[in-house]
């Protein structure tokens, strides 16, 4: 049980570090790092939601960025209409734009979940390689859809001019925004943790290992897997809504499959089938990108082979290396 | 009507390119059970090597002659160094490792050839157009691409149906151990099949060179279309690859060409254009979804 | 009620040119241990897969408790009280022994869209887990990951999981396969213990096991049921000996 203790203390100190980070940064004067770490938290959130699929239920979705993009576009489109003072649509009822974070962020979650429901219900009819390719293809479909959507900037995307407003918070202030991201991430991890160990979680973890057995037990695995797919999509949508606020800009690039691939890389780097690992993975990936990019614009030529080596030799990821314990048994 | 025939030929030409890509990839999927995202990289390598050699030597044929072995060799090296270690692993590992390979190859081409796209000339002897029907003028080069593709399809069929090697390859997909026990060097066989697949990808790349811009990342857009083809056709099936490629090529091309006109008849022009262009760019994915609903394993599943 | 819990009538299944099940008919008496024997390639597992709904027959009927279940999906049959163990152990290697058992308990208690409470602390699991683990002597292993169990223990766990739903018909597909002598004895004891509480269809190679446990035997050769008879008659039947038991008998 000492490995549990070690893991808990690592998670606790990591969490504490994230909580006091803004103070440390303002002491050191590198204010830039606040927004970098906000980005890390947001990508961490997206990566955790992806890990629910990859690590806990064995569904290899290669189109997870689509839901990040949907979430981001929901925030951006509502913002756009609010600033143009033009309703989104007038039939069957009038829907006005909005900059209210308490409205648009939940909407980002909801609408991403809805897309995940429709796409997931089709994708989950398939298995294995088919599933991988189809999730990818649907994400690309949304990508091309937004590229051709001239009304919202097409290929060039949309700018936001400011962040959403939440009563009692000033999201324009990077420190406030940082804590919003941290809070969202922690809430999502907490929810995910309950989920993974609940009866529902037991079923989906079982599906990842042996779906045929699940069916022999009398469980229609399809609806459970679909529910998890929707929950993961919702988490990604929240990340997208935050990301739109962080950069104050959205473009179809957010849905591009390379972003889906990078989210996968973060999960793998951090530790598959763990809830804190993906956050660590996101931090490492973005920090490496940031720092390598300072020395060479061709950082990917190093990142690529490094990734291959990690896959072949270090399957448990960084979280597994530092925290011990078994893969998938947090 | 002539416009329809012309667009039909364009669709066929896209379909042929997709067939060359998906034939190689579906073999790798179906036989080795390995998912390879880096297949588009060999398309790109074929295009770059072909464009460079053709520009330096002034001969398109020399460009093609260099592109094919380059793509095949790169493929076999990648198989030998990386993929061989992943055959027994989960799909997730294969996805991640080959994603790493894409990053590597894309960046490598940027280092070698820079960020500016290269352009490849259509050779003089394939330049110009012919009048296929009265009023229908079509570029000779595109006809040549269609011809080459059809020839490859027939030779692949002959390879699989008629030769000993083809039989071994098919058997290797069904039962690895058994084929190994029969004295076939299965590792070598896999490397050769992989090389054949990347050679076809390289061929597709170098033939696309004069039609598209040769640039870093060009492999990915074609890769995703290839995935759509394979999902529609069924994994591991050459017949499925032919059917899927032609279907996707035609639907994509005809959709882009004619949907706006159709919609303009139905709605006022500004809405019509935006709806039609979104719909045209999504048409093949909608086709894929429809096929899935009816046949989740594709039109011609290899092992049913 | 009918004294036959399951009846198979004129079942056919072909894979391409290979006929795996050929006009096969037999019935299973309620409360019996009914053994299914036959040489390798006789189509035993194919038949089991049709009975459990893993695959569907080309033609013929499967009647369970007077209900036609020929086209019923696998998970629906499980709800009707048909449980199975697989030829190759199918447990959840990535979960603990306790979680494995909890999972099968949950499977039989309504829907599982319970997202919040820890699975091992939910009412139904708390109520049944101890007994279910005890029944197959695995209570002391509950926190161990299932992948760390011995082969025999995995099989015990699998049977235990199949029992959590209080099935009426338990289908055991070669439960002794790959097990040492110790494990075989353990499992035979377990089956002996279950005898009378439910109906068991036992697909088995080991003739000693079959003759010591079974009431009725169906002999399968090339996808055909050549004989269904009480165990004593089968022991004496020459045709069976020729087809299956070889010259050693």
Tell me how many residue pairs between chain A and chain C have CB atoms under 8 A apart: 104
Counting beta carbons within 10 angstroms of the beta carbon of residue A290, is it exposed (0 to 12), middle (13 to 18) or buried (19 or more)?
middle
* Spatial distance between the Cα atoms of C81 and B126, rounded to a whole number of angstroms: 71
Contact present, C171 and C84 (Cβ < 8 Å)? yes
Write down how long chain C is.
249
Q: How confident is the model at residue B300 (pLDDT cuts 50, 70, 90)?
A: confident
With helix as H, strand as E and coil as C, how does A121-157 read? HHHCCCCHHHHHHHHHHHHHHHHHHHHCCHHHCHHHC
Q: What mean pLDDT do residues B74-91 have?
A: 91
**Interface predicted TM-score of the whole assembly (ipTM), two decimals:** 0.87
Average pLDDT over residues C90-105: 88
| Residue A16 placed within a domain | yes
Residue A35 token pair:
């927004």
Closest to A84 (Cα-Cα) out of A74, A92, A76 = A76
Buried b (16+ CB within 10 A) or exposed e, B22-56: bbbbbbbbbbbbbbbbbbbbbbbbbbbbbbbbbee
- Residue A328 maps to a domain: no
- pLDDT category of residue A328 using cuts at 50, 70 and 90: very low
Please give the order of strands across the beta sheet that includes C224-230.
Answer: C82-85, C169-173, C199-203, C33-37, C216-221, C224-230
Look at A144 and B282 and tell me if their CB atoms are within 8 Å: yes
Distance to chain A for B80, nearest Cα, Å: 14
Mean pLDDT lowest among A79-88, A123-132, B261-270, C217-226: B261-270
Q: How far is CA C157 from CA A300, C122, C164, in A?
A: 48, 21, 11
Which pLDDT value is given to residue C162? 85
CA nearest A97: which of A85, A82, A86?
Answer: A82
Q: How many domains does chain A have?
A: 1
Cβ contact, residue pair C103, A206, below 8 Å: yes
Is residue A122 situated within a structural domain? yes
In terms of pLDDT, which residue wins out, C235 or A100? A100
Q: Please give the tally of structural domains in chain B.
A: 1
- CB-CB neighbours of A319 under 10 Å: 28
The alpha carbon of residue A255 and the mean position of all alpha carbons in its chain are separated, in whole angstroms, by 12
Residue B42 lies in a domain: yes
Task: Find tokens 């090697």 and name the residue.
Answer: B165
CATH number at residue A7: 1.10.3470
A322 or B53: whose pLDDT is higher?
B53
Q: What does the block give as tokens for C204?
A: 């088995």
The four Cα atoms C217, C221, C223, C226 give a dihedral, to 10 degrees, of -60
Span A158-204, pLDDT tens digits: 998 888 888 888 888 888 999 999 999 999 999 999 999 999 999 99
- Spatial CA neighbour of C153 closest among C200, C107, C187, C202: C187
How far apart are the C-alpha atoms of C42 and A299, rounded to whole Å? Answer: 60
pLDDT for the residue B252: 93
Q: Which of A253, A254, A248 is nearest to A99 (CA)?
A: A248
Which helix (H) or strand (E) covers residue C105, if one does?
Answer: helix C97-107
Span A2-17, mean pLDDT? 82
Tell me whether strands C33-37 and C199-203 are parallel, antiparallel or unpaired: parallel
- Residue A83, judged by CB atoms within 10 A of its CB (0-12, 13-18, 19+), counts as middle
Q: What is the pLDDT of residue B9?
A: 92
Residue B80 contacts residue A274 (beta carbons within 8 Å)? no
DSSP states of C149-196 as a string?
Answer: S-HHHHHHHHHHHHHTT--SEEEEESTTTT--HHHHHHHHHHHHHHBT
A271 part of a folded domain = yes
- Specify the range with the lowest mean pLDDT, choosing from B208-222, C105-119, C146-160: C105-119
Query: What whole-number distance in Å separates Cα of residue C107 and Cα of residue A269?
Result: 34
Q: What percent of chain C has pLDDT over 90?
A: 27
Give the pLDDT confidence of B259-278 residue by residue, as tens digits.
888 888 877 777 777 778 88
In order, the DSSP letters of A267-309 are: HHHH-TT-SSHHHHHHHHHHHHHHHHHHH-TTTHHHHHHHHHH
- Beta strands C169-173 and C199-203, pairing class: parallel
What per-residue confidence (pLDDT) applies to B277? 80
Low-confidence winner among A17-26, A278-287, C172-181 (lowest mean pLDDT): C172-181
Q: Are B40 and B222 spatial neighbours (Cβ–Cβ below 8 Å)?
A: yes
Is the pLDDT reported for residue C30 higher than 80?
A: yes
pLDDT value for A329: 39
Q: Which residue has the tokens 């009378």?
A: C196
pLDDT band at residue A54, thresholds of 50, 70 and 90? Answer: very high
Query: pLDDT tens digit string along B143-158?
Result: 999 999 999 989 988 8
Q: What is the CA radius of gyration of chain C?
A: 18
Cβ distance A307 to B228 less than 8 Å, yes or no, reads no
* Contact across the interface for B297 and A257, Cβ inside 8 Å: no
Task: Give the CATH number, domain containing residue B157.
Answer: 1.10.3470
Nearest to A258 by CA among A234, A289, A280: A289
pLDDT, residue B189, reads 84
Closest CA to A240 of A105, A114, A119, A150: A105
Q: Is residue A277 part of a domain?
A: yes
Strands C4-15 vs A249-250: parallel, antiparallel or unpaired: unpaired
| Average of per-residue pLDDT across C99-117 | 83
Query: What are the Cα distances from residue A87, in Å, to A90, A244, C248?
Result: 7, 20, 87
Measured CB to CB, residues of chain A less than 8 Å from chain C are 194-195, 197-203, 205-206, 208-210, 212-220, 224, 227, 326, 328-329
**Is the Cβ pair A122, B289 closer than 8 Å?**
yes
pLDDT of residue A244: 96
Instruction: Answer yes or no: do B100 and A149 touch at CB < 8 A.
Output: no
The H or E element containing residue B117 is none
Q: Which two tokens stand for residue A224?
A: 């459970």
Residue of chain A whose alpha carbon sits nearest to that of B99: A261
Percent share of chain C, pLDDT over 70: 93
Looking at the complex, report in whole angstroms how far the Cα of residue C102 sits from the nearest Cα belonging to chain A: 8
Is the separation of the CB atoms in C77 and C64 below 8 Å?
yes
Q: What pLDDT does residue C245 have? A: 56
Measured at the CA of A111, the angle between CA A105 and CA A115, to 5 degrees, comes to 145
CA atoms of C233 and A139, how far apart (whole Å)? 64
CB of B92 within 8 Å of a chain A CB? The answer is yes
The lowest-confidence range among A88-102, B103-117, B268-282, C165-179 is B268-282
A140 inside domain: yes
**Which of A243-252, A278-287, C90-99 has the weakest average pLDDT?**
C90-99
Which position has the token pair 């149906």? B161
Of B236, B243, B244, which is closest to residue B284 (Cα–Cα)?
A: B244
* Residues 6 or more apart whose Cβ sits within 8 Å of residue A138: A63, A66, A119, A122, A123, B285, B289
- pLDDT at position B303 over 60: no
Q: What angle do CA C227, C229, C234 make, to 5 degrees?
A: 80
Tell me, what's the pLDDT at A95? 87
At B180 the pLDDT is 62
pLDDT above 70 coverage of chain A, percent: 95
Evaluate whether B7 touches B140 at the Cβ level (below 8 Å). no
In a domain, B301, yes or no: no
Full domain range(s) for residue A158: 2-323
Least confident of B115-124, B160-169, C70-79: B160-169
Domain range for residue B70? 2-294
Residue position matching structure tokens 């049944």: C128
| Beta carbons of C162 and C84 less than 8 angstroms apart | yes
- pLDDT for residue A180: 94
Average pLDDT over every residue of A262-278: 91
Lowest mean pLDDT among A34-43, B37-46, B85-94: B85-94
Q: Is C110 strand, coil or helix?
A: coil
B304 inside domain: no
Tokens 């006109």 correspond to what residue? B261
Query: Is C61 a residue whose pLDDT tops 90?
Result: yes
| Alpha-carbon distance values, B230 to A126, B32, B96 (Å) | 13, 15, 20
In this prediction, residue B304 carries a pLDDT of 41
Q: Which of A276, A290, A282 is nearest to A325 (CA)?
A: A276
Q: Is A204 on the interface with B (CB under 8 A)?
A: no
Read off φ and ψ for residue A246, nearest 5 degrees. -65, -45
Chain A residue numbers touching C114 (CB-CB < 8 A): 198-200
Cβ–Cβ under 8 Å, residues C13 and C21: yes
Residues A107, A74: contact at Cβ < 8 Å?
yes
Which of B18, B30, B92 best probes binding to A when mutated, by most A CB atoms within 10 angstroms? B92
Q: Average pLDDT, whole number, for chain C? A: 85
Domains (range + CATH), chain C = 1-81+168-249 (3.40.50.300), 92-166 (no CATH)
Distance CA C74, CA C72 (A): 7
Chains near A (3 or more Cβ pairs under 8 Å): B, C
Report the b/e string of C31-60 with b at 16+ CB within 10 A: bbbbbbbbeeebbbbbbbbbbbbbeebeeb
Considering chain A, what is the average pLDDT of its residues?
A: 88
pLDDT-derived band at C152 (thresholds 50, 70, 90) equals confident
Tell me how far apart the alpha carbons of residues C212 and B47 are, in angstroms, rounded to a whole number.
71
Q: C169 pairs with which residues across the strands?
A: C82, C199
Alpha-carbon distance A290 to nearest alpha carbon in chain B (angstroms): 16
Residues of C at the A interface, defined by Cβ within 8 angstroms: 52, 54, 74-79, 83-84, 86, 90-95, 99, 102-104, 106-108, 112-119, 122, 125, 145, 161, 165
Helix and strand numbers, DSSP H then E, in chain C:
9, 10
pLDDT-derived band of residue B181, with 50, 70 and 90 as boundaries?
Answer: low
Cβ contacts from A onto B, under 8 A = 128
Residue A327 has pLDDT above 70, yes or no: no
* B303 in any annotated domain: no
Per-residue tokens: A248: 């104050």
Does A330 reside within a domain? Answer: no
For residue B124, give the nearest of B184, B61, B171, B68 by alpha carbon. Answer: B61
In a domain, B33, yes or no: yes
Count other Cβ atoms within 10 Å, centred on residue B144. 16
Let me know if A85 is exposed, middle or buried by CB neighbors in 10 A (0-12, 13-18, 19+). Answer: exposed
Q: Is residue B302 assigned to a domain? A: no
Contact state of A300 with B224 under an 8 Å Cβ cutoff = no
Whole-number pLDDT of residue B172: 63
């Amino acid at each position: 049980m000492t490995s549990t203790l070690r893991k808990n203390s690592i998670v606790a100190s990591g969490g504490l570090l994230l909580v006091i980070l803004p103070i440390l940064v303002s002491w050191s004067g590198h204010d830039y790092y606040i927004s970098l770490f906000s980005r890390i938290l947001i990508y961490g959130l997206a990566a955790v939601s992806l890990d629910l699929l990859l690590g806990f239920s064995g569904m290899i979705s290669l189109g997870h960025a689509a839901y990040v993009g949907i979430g981001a576009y929901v925030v951006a489109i509502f913002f756009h209409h609010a600033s143009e003072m033009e309703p989104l649509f007038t039939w069957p009822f009038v829907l006005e734009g909005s900059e209210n974070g308490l409205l648009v962020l939940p909407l980002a979650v909801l609408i991403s979940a809805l897309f995940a429901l429709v796409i997931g219900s089709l994708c989950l009819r398939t298995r294995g390689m088919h599933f991988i390719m189809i999730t990818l293809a649907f994400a690309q479909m949304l990508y091309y859809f937004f590229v051709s959507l001239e009304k919202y900037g097409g290929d060039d995307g949309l700018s936001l001019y400011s962040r959403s407003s939440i009563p009692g918070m000033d999201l324009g202030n990077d420190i406030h925004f940082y804590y919003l991201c941290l809070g969202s991430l922690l809430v999502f991890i907490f929810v995910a943790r309950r989920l993974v160990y609940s009866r529902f979680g037991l079923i989906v973890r079982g599906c990842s290992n042996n779906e045929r057995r699940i069916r022999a037990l009398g469980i229609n695995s399809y609806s459970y897997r679909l529910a998890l797919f929707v929950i993961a999509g919702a988490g990604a949508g929240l990340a997208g809504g935050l990301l739109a606020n962080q950069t104050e800009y959205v473009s179809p690039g957010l849905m591009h499959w390379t972003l889906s691939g990078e989210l996968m890389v973060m999960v793998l780097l951090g530790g598959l089938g763990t809830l804190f690992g993906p956050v660590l993975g996101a931090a490492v990936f973005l920090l490496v990108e940031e720092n390598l990019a300072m020395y060479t614009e061709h950082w990917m030529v190093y990142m690529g082979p490094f990734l291959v080596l990690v896959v072949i030799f270090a399957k448990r990821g960084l979280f597994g290396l530092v925290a011990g314990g078994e893969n998938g048994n947090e | 009507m002539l416009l329809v025939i012309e667009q039909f030929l364009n669709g066929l030409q896209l379909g042929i390119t997709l067939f060359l890509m998906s034939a190689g990839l579906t073999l790798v999927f179906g036989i080795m059970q390995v998912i390879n995202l880096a297949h588009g990289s060999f398309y790109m390598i074929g295009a770059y090597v072909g464009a460079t050699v053709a520009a330096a030597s002034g001969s398109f044929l020399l460009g093609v002659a260099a592109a094919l072995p380059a793509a095949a060799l790169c493929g076999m090296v990648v198989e030998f160094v990386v993929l061989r270690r992943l055959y027994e692993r989960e799909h997730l590992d294969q996805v991640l490792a080959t994603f790493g390979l894409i990053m590597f190859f894309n960046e490598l081409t940027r280092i070698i050839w820079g960020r500016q796209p290269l352009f490849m000339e259509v050779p003089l002897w394939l330049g110009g157009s012919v009048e296929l029907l009265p009023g229908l003028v079509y570029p000779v080069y595109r006809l040549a691409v269609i011809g080459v593709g059809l020839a490859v399809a027939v030779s692949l069929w002959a390879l699989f149906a008629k030769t000993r090697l083809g039989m071994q390859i098919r058997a290797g997909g069904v039962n690895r151990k058994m084929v190994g026990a029969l004295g076939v060097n299965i590792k070598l066989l896999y490397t050769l099949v992989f090389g054949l697949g990347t050679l076809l990808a390289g061929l597709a790349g170098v033939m696309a060179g004069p039609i598209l811009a040769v640039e870093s990342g060009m492999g990915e857009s074609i890769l995703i279309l290839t995935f759509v083809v394979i999902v529609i056709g069924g994994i591991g099936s050459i017949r499925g690859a032919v059917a899927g490629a032609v279907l996707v090529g035609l639907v994509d091309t005809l959709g882009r060409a004619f949907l706006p006109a159709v919609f303009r008849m139905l709605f006022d022009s500004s809405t019509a254009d935006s709806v039609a262009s979104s719909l045209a760019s999504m048409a093949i994915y909608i086709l894929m979804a429809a096929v899935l609903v009816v046949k989740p394993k594709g039109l011609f599943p290899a092992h049913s | 009620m009918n004294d036959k819990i399951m009846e198979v009538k004129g079942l056919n299944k072909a894979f391409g040119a290979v006929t795996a099940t050929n006009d096969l008919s037999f019935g299973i008496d309620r409360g019996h241990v009914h053994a299914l024997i036959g040489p390798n390639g006789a189509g035993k597992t194919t038949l089991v897969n049709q009975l459990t709904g893993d695959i569907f027959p080309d033609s013929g009927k499967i009647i369970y408790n007077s209900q036609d279940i020929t086209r019923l999906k696998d998970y629906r049959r499980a709800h009707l009280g048909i449980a199975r163990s697989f030829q190759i152990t199918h447990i959840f290697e990535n979960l603990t022994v306790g979680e494995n058992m909890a999972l099968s308990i949950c499977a039989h208690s309504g829907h599982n869209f319970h997202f919040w409470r820890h699975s091992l602390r939910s009412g139904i699991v708390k109520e049944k887990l101890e007994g279910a683990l005890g029944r197959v002597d695995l209570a002391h292993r509950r926190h161990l990951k299932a992948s760390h169990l011995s082969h025999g223990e995995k099989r015990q766990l699998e049977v235990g999981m199949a029992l959590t739903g209080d099935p009426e018909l338990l289908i055991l597909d070669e439960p002794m396969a790959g097990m040492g002598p110790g494990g075989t004895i353990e499992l035979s004891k377990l089956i002996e213990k279950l005898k009378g509480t439910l109906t068991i269809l036992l697909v088995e190679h080991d003739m000693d096991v079959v003759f010591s446990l079974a009431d009725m035997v169906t002999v399968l050769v090339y996808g055909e049921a050549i004989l269904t008879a009480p165990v004593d008659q089968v022991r004496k039947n020459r045709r069976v000996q020729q087809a299956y038991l070889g010259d050693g008998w």
